[in-house]
Structure 1
Amino acid sequence: MELRDYLRVLRQNWVLIVLLTLVGVAAASAYSLVQTPKYSSSAKVFVSTSGGASVSELQQGNTFTQQRVKTYADLATTAIVLLPVINSLGLDTTSEELAPHVTATAPLDTSLIEISVTDEDPAQAAKIATAVSESLTNVVESIETTNRPAGDDGAASTPTSPVRLTLVQHAAVPQAPVSPNVPLNIALGALVGLALGVGLAVLRATLDTRIRNERDVELISEAPIIGGIVFDPKAKERPLIVHADPHSPRAESFRTLRTNLQFLEPGRTDRAFVVTSSVESEGKSTTAANLAIALADAGARVLLVDADLRRPKVANYLGVEGAVGLTDLLIGRAELQDVVQGWGRNELYVLPAGSVPPNPSELLGSTTMVETIAELKRAFDVVLFDSPPLLPVTDAAVLARNVGGAIVVVAAGRAHRPQLRGAIAALQNVDAPVSGIVLTMLPTKGPDAYGYGRYGYGYGYGYVAREST
């Protein structure tokens, strides 16, 4: 995926991303509310050494002190220091339970030990921090105490300690809790929610194989995209938009499709195409009918053939008699001039499907059908064959091989990439060329919104909808 693909995914799933971000914020807020506030109080102890008047002795003493500071800091959480604190304050706990609440740190290159205590009671935290500092002072003095040798007079020496710990900062009662850190928790919750939202959006986009825009089509086939038709919720009510509302933007897109069709395969002497799709309900029949009307409006002599001998729709869309048609022509029960019907004021003619036969594929691949196609090409400027979808049956592939070109209709948001890939392969297997691809049902809003920028005009160009007469 490229950067623009990720941006499209974010725009397409922004509701999910925002929702999960808010859920993360709500979860973090709820977690912070149910947590019991804890307070932290700190005391500081200064470590020094006694004796030494020369500079060298002072430096040695300073080095000795810094080396011992880390050891003294580690002593702060041991039982020898904490038990006197528990006894003096009358705490209902053990040294093992108290130790996790006590931390002692020695800043680098200093002779200070900072002792911090965390507790749910701020006053209790301050008392314990001060008591631990005093107990550490006594324990270190007891450990480091040594006896000096006897003097010349034979008197016993007095025990002394070369190290002295001094409580230089008593623990103060904290006014604000250190946990829960509500702003930090909310920020982390929002970050986690945002990450989950983006991850789910990318996962959805990766697993979603539906075709949504022309780039998805270009990744599958090198066939040119010759048109784009936006989604019309009233398409079932007015399938012939070119006739019902000729000044609408959707009707203009069919006229643009007509123009692009004229530039397809300039080496071909005939203009006959099979209009098909991968699966059903992609708009192939309405595309064929509207394209035929647009071609006739431009002055071409057009024949629209309903070659969907399984579920014919052209006769119903155009309002012509469909009882007799292509089937009767192929079995020799009627002549061409008997089944072709004129439609509208221009040179548009319709050849309905007729009755549904039991063997549509055999009829469409028969020698009679090949001869009929050749005759239709000679009699009309453009011949459009509305055929069944490619994947369920082989009718369209057989017909496209004989006609010499296929226009594949792809419904955005409905057709899947494997389906289009299979449809293209079905045509290639019979050496039927894909003349062009038409995207239908394109969205008008959202990241994949279609604005007629490439295949037609936008809604703001100035067209005003008019009632058909």
Structure 2
Amino acid sequence: MNKLDIYKNQDYILNDAFDQAVVNIHIQKEQNGYKTYTVCGCEPGDGSTTVAINLAAALANSGWKTVLVDGDMRKKKGYKRLNEGASVGLSEYLTAQAQINDIIYETTTELLYYIPCGEQNENPVRLLCSTQMENVEKMLADNFDFVIYDMPAVTAAMDATAIAVKTDACILVVAMGESSKKGLATAVSTLDEKRANLLGVIVNKVDINEYKRYRRSFDYFKKEKYADHAKAVMKANKKNNRKNA
């Protein structure tokens, strides 16, 4: 089986940013045992797939055996560059058309493996909540140091939430200057209400010059105005939950 080509980022500033994320994820692994992560945008177009790919590659480059799972079965696989050369994927396994070993592909990045989404499916939520999916999740958690699930935007479908509640933690992606506060608030509330473990917010599409100026204000990629807003929403949700208990 040919190895799938993973683009290697050469931008030292971007690499530095993902290195910070890797450090924080490593700390979470050491302190809490976290190894499975859901990466999703709050709105479509936030660039969560780009973040998931770079994050998975950064973990693999750090010596961790990592698998990136494309859990977006709503899009046709032809629209996704990483799926070129992948004949079967997640949807085929979940519909008993392929074996688990058939859908795990090696990549050109050492220690990084990839599971493509497979053919488009009309009802992916049912597949993601199936016993077959539970088998996938257990097998990957048992055989890899880190498992990164690349999921659709939280506000676009229930797919991300269905996986986020089962992974150790969830990372939300927002696009600088594009993601709305309403979209962010809705995404945070949805994840919080379903008791997903929202670990942090990664701000994507940041101007490089701005990143240089404000890099000391970032904590796990969190830009203050986004991070503070997310924290405020979560705090309000917890307060309301206590009242309703």
TM-score, length-scaled by structure 1: 0.43
- Alpha-carbon contact 2:34-2:168 (below 8 Å) kept: no
1:250 to 14, 27, 31: 14
Q: Structure 1 residues 317 and 295, CA, compared in 2 at 3 Å: closer, same or farther? A: farther
- Alpha-carbon contact 2:64-2:146 (below 8 Å) kept: yes
Unaligned runs of 5+ in 2: 1-5, 220-245
Deviation at 1:315, TM superposition (A): 8.6
> Aligned residue for 2:111?
347
Q: In structure 1, what residue type is equivalent to 2:108?
A: G
Find the aligned partners of 1:351 and 1:431 in 2 and give their Cα distance: 26
Deviation at 1:368, TM superposition (A): 1.7
Question: Is residue 284 from structure 1 mapped to residue 45 from structure 2 by the alignment?
Answer: no
Deviation at 1:268, TM superposition (A): 3.3
> Aligned residue for 2:211?
450
The CA deviation string for residues 289-323 of structure 1, in whole angstroms up to 9 with x for no partner, is: 01111111111000000001112679934364234
1:321 to 80, 85, 95: 85
Q: In structure 2, what residue type is equivalent to 1:450?
A: Y
Find the aligned partners of 1:381 and 1:315 in 2 and give their Cα distance: 29
Q: In structure 2, what residue type is equivalent to 1:453?
A: R
The CA deviation string for residues 388-431 of structure 1, in whole angstroms up to 9 with x for no partner, is: 10012111001111223211001110111111110011112221
Question: Is residue 300 from structure 1 mapped to residue 64 from structure 2 by the alignment?
Answer: yes
Question: Is residue 333 from structure 1 mapped to residue 97 from structure 2 by the alignment?
Answer: yes
- Alpha-carbon contact 1:276-1:396 (below 8 Å) kept: yes
Deviation at 1:259, TM superposition (A): 1.6
Q: Structure 1 residues 313 and 454, CA, compared in 2 at 3 Å: closer, same or farther? A: farther
- Alpha-carbon contact 2:73-2:124 (below 8 Å) kept: yes
Deviation at 1:263, TM superposition (A): 1.8
Deviation at 1:437, TM superposition (A): 1.1
Find the aligned partners of 2:172 and 2:64 in 1 and give their Cα distance: 22
Correspondence 1:170-209 to 2 at 5 A: none
TM-score, length-scaled by structure 2: 0.79
Deviation at 1:367, TM superposition (A): 2.1
- Alpha-carbon contact 1:306-1:387 (below 8 Å) kept: yes
> Aligned residue for 1:259?
23
1:439 to 184, 200, 203: 203
Looking at both structures, which has the greater relative contact order when contacts are Cα pairs under 8 Å and sequence separation is at least 6? 2
Identity %: 27
Aligned length: 212
1:393 to 157, 168, 173: 157
Find the aligned partners of 1:364 and 1:296 in 2 and give their Cα distance: 25
Q: In structure 2, what residue type is equivalent to 1:443?
A: D
